[in-house]
Structure 1
Amino acid sequence: MLPSELSIPFLASTAIFAFTPGPGMLYMAVQTMAHGARAGLLSSLAFHLASYIHIFAAAFGVTVLLKTAPFLLIVLKIVGGCYLIWMGIRLWKRPKTGALTAQSSKAKPSRQAFRDSLTIEILNPKSALFYFAFLPQFTTSEAAFPIWVQILALGVIANVAFSLTDIVCILFAGLVAMRAAASARLVALGRRIGGTILMSMGAGIVADTR
């Protein structure tokens, strides 16, 4: 669909972004360590689905609103940051329990992880601006398809690549969690560490709006 002078740089750039650890990957690892691999995988799925909202926005120009109305960017950052802080507090306050072995005990945290991840990614203006700034660079008016179709196709490819590397991270974090699951003390410590990370990430986002 695209000439090699555009497709090769796009694939190379996507690979670099996909294999570079970022806040999203760290967040999924925290969910995995706190609630198990199922929660981590559902978090990845939620991020993947929410990213399509940003991709469609990039394709049809809706994200221009974030540039023409900067206060929207600030509002989204503050809301998203506060949501992360609240999640970290909730993780800290979670009752101390042993290893989660029953499937029913895992279901609720996993569903919550999916909802939280979906909310966070939708409220993340940096993701929207990333797709808006990144994808159009690799389109051309000389291609057989219109620009918006090219952006959608490139967005799908990039999103799938990001999701695959997230899964690798989640599986690794799941192995670590399984090692620690036999000790209720380690589980509680892992939740506190994860909660602290989430609160720090949220505080950093809010502070970045100043």
Structure 2
Amino acid sequence: MDTTTLAAFLAVDLLLVLTPGADWAYAISAGLRDRSVVPAVAGLIAGYAGYTLLAVAGLVVIVASSPSLLTVLTVVGAAYLMWLGWGVLSRPAVPGASMEAMSSSSSSRRQVMLKGAGISGLNPKALLLYFSLFPQFIDSAAGWPVAAQTGLFGSLHMVACAVVYLAVGLLARTVLKTRPSAARAVTRASGAMMIVIGGFLLVERLVG
């Protein structure tokens, strides 16, 4: 596989990762909960790791070609996203408040990580990303097995997500830490974004 192909994949992938969405919203809300940034991003990456394993195994093609299974994934993922968004919207984080003590417990970190994994792992858009984007860059004449190329693309995507989402979460924490009112507003906006995205996915699948 040549460097031109890898560079082209990274350019397209970074463009997608840099587009705000549910992952951004979760990273921002986690950033306002002080030390929960890393486990939140780790959870998001864990969800994509699952998709990478599915893609390497070739199961992504099977799942993506099943309309009924995609519908189930969409409904579950959208409902979960809307539920999380409502929780964020109704209980906005305030930097430096009691959430600081809560975020230090291992059980809370696990909960934050599991929620992140649920957001990325139940998002059917991620499945379609792996299904539609990766094959465009697979080179059967490269001398690499298709599974190895798929694994490499999945790893690069996870690294890009980790860098961008950590930056988003830490930036939100740094900029808004001394501005409680702005932090509440941004957190509520993040929660609202989750609800809107979840509703859009639900309507798109059920009506479309």
Q: TM-score range by the shorter chain?
A: 0.7 to 0.9
Partner of 1:91: 88
* Structure 2 portions without partners, runs of 5+: none
TM value normalised by structure 2: 0.83
Separation (CA, whole Å) in 1 of partners of 2:48 and 2:112: 16
1:36-61 deviation per Cα after TM superposition (whole angstroms, max 9, x unaligned): 3x223222111112101111212221
Q: How does 1:32-181 map to 2 (within 5 A)?
A: 32-33=31-32, 35-36=33-34, 38-94=35-91, 99-100=96-97, 103-107=100-104, 109-181=108-180
- Structure 1 residues 148-178: Cα deviation after superposition (integer angstroms, max 9, x where no partner): 1111012112220221111111111111331
* Counterpart residue number, 1:203: 199
Secondary structure of the residue aligned to 2:104 is helix
State the identity %: 25
| Residues 57 and 128 in structure 1, CA contact (< 8 A), matched pair in contact too | no
Report the equivalent of 1:20: 19
Q: Would you say the 8 A contact 1:99–1:187 is kept in 2? A: no
One-letter amino acid of the counterpart of residue 162, structure 1: C
Letter of the structure 1 residue corresponding to residue 78 of structure 2: G
Task: Assess, with a 3 A threshold, how the Cα gap between structure 1 residues 137 and 101 changes in structure 2: closer, same or farther.
Answer: same
Q: Which moved more, 1:187-196 or 1:22-31?
A: 187-196
What is the count of residue pairs matched by the alignment?
204
For the 8 Å contact 1:55–1:128, the answer to whether it is kept is: no
Letter in 2 for 1:52: A
Deviations 1:82-108 (A, max 9, x none): 112222332344499883267532236
Report the structure number with the largest CA radius of gyration.
1
Distance 1:141 1:172, change over 3 A: same
Alignment CA distance shift 1:10-1:68 (3 Å): closer
| Aligned residue identity for 1:56 | L
TM-score by length of 1: 0.82
Q: Which segment is superposed worse, 154-163 or 7-16? A: 7-16
Q: In the alignment, residue 116 of structure 2 is paired with which amino acid?
A: S
1:56 and 1:96 mapped to 2: Cα distance?
Answer: 34
